[in-house]
């Protein structure tokens, strides 16, 4: 999810307004994905590199995360959505950690689609941890690494979408993206919605797999 800052700048608004609009795009897209019957999607909400941002912006993002859980947990649960986190979310403030724990516990036994949120996630770190664990247990192979990844029990990654015109993966699901289709759009994240998701899925469906 990229482009919140540029979306705000274009409107002469503070970056925080872009992040707020980004949450609305999350809502629209997650709802659309559920209605389309997608089994699983992962949102890159906060990378391990995002800690380098100004303190106020980190506070704004954390605040929005808490607001989102408080406001939307009920809807997820009612729709049988299972929430998952990848990345070490213990780095956020205690109130945020408690809210995330509550959301995970509430939805743990849901059997519908899975919504994964990447928080304080970095793929290289995930790979280092997975390879170390694999090595402790014996031989390092693609299989022994794969089962130690944060995403071990999730379905394979088919499609990876990046918004706002950047064409790089930025340390997101590097191992998992080995066979994924990549989809880059100039659309800024706050403008993304169900229609934009449908366009990405149409592009995916037209590709030779």
Q: Which long-range contacts (CB under 8 A, 24 or more apart) does 156-160 make?
A: 157/42, 158/204, 159/183, 159/200, 159/201, 159/204
Neighbours of 180 (CB within 10 A): 16
**Given 27, 28, 43, 50, the residue binding ligand IPE (CB under 6 A):** 50
Kindly state whether residue 5 participates in binding ligand IPE, applying the rule CB under 6 A. Answer: yes
50 is catalytic: yes
Q: Which is nearer to ligand IPE, 1 or 134 (CB)?
A: 1
Strand order in the sheet with 114-121: 40-47, 114-121, 82-86
Kindly state whether residue 158 participates in binding Mg ion, applying the rule CB under 5 A. Answer: no
Q: Nearest residue by C-beta to ligand IPE?
A: 5
Least distance in angstroms from the C-beta of 88 to ligand IPE = 17
Contact 66, 96 (CB under 8 A): yes
CA 94 – CA 176 distance, rounded (Å): 30
One character per residue 1-30, x = contact with Mg ion (rule: CB under 5 A): -x----------------------------
The residues assigned a catalytic role are: 2, 50
Site of interaction with Mg ion (CB under 5 A): 2
């Amino acid at each position: 999810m990229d482009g919140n800052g540029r979306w705000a700048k274009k409107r002469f608004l503070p970056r925080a307004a872009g992040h707020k609009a980004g949450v609305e795009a999350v809502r629209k897209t997650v709802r659309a994905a559920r209605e389309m019957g997608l089994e699983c999607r992962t949102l890159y909400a906060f990378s391990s590199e995002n800690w380098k941002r100004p303190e106020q912006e980190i506070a704004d993002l954390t605040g929005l995360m808490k607001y989102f859980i408080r406001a939307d947990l009920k809807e997820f649960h009612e729709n049988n959505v299972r929430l998952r986190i990848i990345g070490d979310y213990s780095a956020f403030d205690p109130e945020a950690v408690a809210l995330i724990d509550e959301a995970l516990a509430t939805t743990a036994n849901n059997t519908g689609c899975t919504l994964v949120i990447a928080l304080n996630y970095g793929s290289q770190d995930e790979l280092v941890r997975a390879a170390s664990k694999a090595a402790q247990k014996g031989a390092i192979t693609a299989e022994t690494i794969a089962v130690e990844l944060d995403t071990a029990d999730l379905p394979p990654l088919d499609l990876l979408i990046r918004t706002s015109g950047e064409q790089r993966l930025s340390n997101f699901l590097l191992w998992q993206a080995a066979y994924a289709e990549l989809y880059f759009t100039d659309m800024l994240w706050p403008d993304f919605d169900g229609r934009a998701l449908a366009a990405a899925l149409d592009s995916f469906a037209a590709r030779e797999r």
